[in-house]
Structure 1
């Protein structure tokens, strides 16, 4: 049996939130997360960095991104978020940012990853124009029989945290939905942006949204009134997070994890060996 493909994901990194501070809080959180990924056995096959790579879109912070991710033992695929700037990104990553949009295809182990660009200048929420739709239509037409995962920053789903919600009636969501309609090779959508781990069904496709390495958005489902500040928590310093997307050749399974230290209550030793043996014995052989 071929080993599953393991795709790691980090998102909403926001380097440069504290300009000029080489030891800023967001960099510490990123380093802790990348450290956890590089200690995995087996290592991930690749890493997705799904937007808001920097906080202010400046070239200096992109240089820090390049340095922070440099030397990892697996390739990294980047995409644009609403805090990013395509021109400054391209000045540091010219291999990816040489056109109007940062979108491209990465094929690995029989799986096609299509990275799309949902950055809309001047807007916090997503964007997906007719030019981007035409590009994605062409990419999907190239390989209709190849399992495909779409990688993007903004989720097209309404998650319930009202101040961060995507409205399903937004033009960009409707354009994106129409573009992928009928393309059965699309097996999943991987996103960031919400600073929380969320999964949802949308247009018959599972959307997996990874929590951030930067501080998280507080989980609050109550309605919000922009004219009535109610002192609700909005940003919390929960541990930095990442996701592991496991492709077994037929389905994508997403696991969420944090990069903090875990208290170990049991290890695989002689006391746990009978349980492991009995569980494995229940499964078909071969």
Structure 2
């Protein structure tokens, strides 16, 4: 699998790229998730990613919680979920639990060759409400 990834990344070194996995290639600090550690070969994956500067994100899921880490010179993000979230409890002996937190997702926008990532709530909230800004405020829409 990693040889195929290295080969595929080598074919388009100029293309802004995201690599997507289901399981995260790093420990999260959430004990029961880290003990399950369903992804093996993190060091080998890091070696491949580090050789390809066009990789701007490594994206994964499984944990049901927004978490990020610098990995092999790029940002590795775990996406939250539109269902339940794994409880944020970083005690090593914390029980395996989930929370019915507001659903979220990651929205990736490719802008001028760069990925900009937003974490967005799925539930509707009141608003939008306009800012009351002076006419000379920088960035004010005209």
- 8 Å CA contact 2:50, 2:73 repeated in 1: no
- 8 Å CA contact 1:133, 1:179 repeated in 2: yes
More strand by share: 2
- Residue 208 of structure 1: CA displacement? 1.7
Larger radius of gyration: 1
Change in CA separation of 1:278 and 1:166 when aligned onto 2, cut-off 3 Å = farther
Does 1:255 pair with 2:113? Answer: no
- 8 Å CA contact 1:215, 1:238 repeated in 2: yes
Q: Which runs of 5 or more structure 1 residues have no equivalent in the other structure?
A: 1-131, 225-229, 282-286
- Residue 206 of structure 1: CA displacement? 0.5
Q: Which runs of 5 or more structure 2 residues have no equivalent in the other structure?
A: none
TM-score relative to the length of structure 2: 0.82
What is the aligned partner in structure 2 of residue 235 from structure 1? 98
- Residue 175 of structure 1: CA displacement? 2.3
Does 1:209 pair with 2:78? Answer: yes
More helix by share: 1
Q: Select 2:8's aligned residue among 125, 132, 139.
A: 139
TM-score relative to the length of structure 1: 0.44
Matches within 5 A, 1:241-280: 241-264=104-127, 267-268=129-130, 272-275=131-134, 278-280=137-139
- Residue 223 of structure 1: CA displacement? 0.9
After the TM superposition, which parts of structure 1 deviate over 6 Å for at least 4 consecutive aligned residues? none
- Residue 176 of structure 1: CA displacement? 1.4
- Residue 143 of structure 1: CA displacement? 0.9
Take 2:134 and 2:44, find their aligned partners in 1: how far apart are those partners? 51
Task: Classify the secondary structure of the residue corresponding to 1:179.
Answer: helix
Change in CA separation of 1:276 and 1:164 when aligned onto 2, cut-off 3 Å = farther
Change in CA separation of 1:207 and 1:167 when aligned onto 2, cut-off 3 Å = farther
Change in CA separation of 1:280 and 1:142 when aligned onto 2, cut-off 3 Å = same
Task: Classify the secondary structure of the residue corresponding to 1:164.
Answer: helix
Aligned length: 139
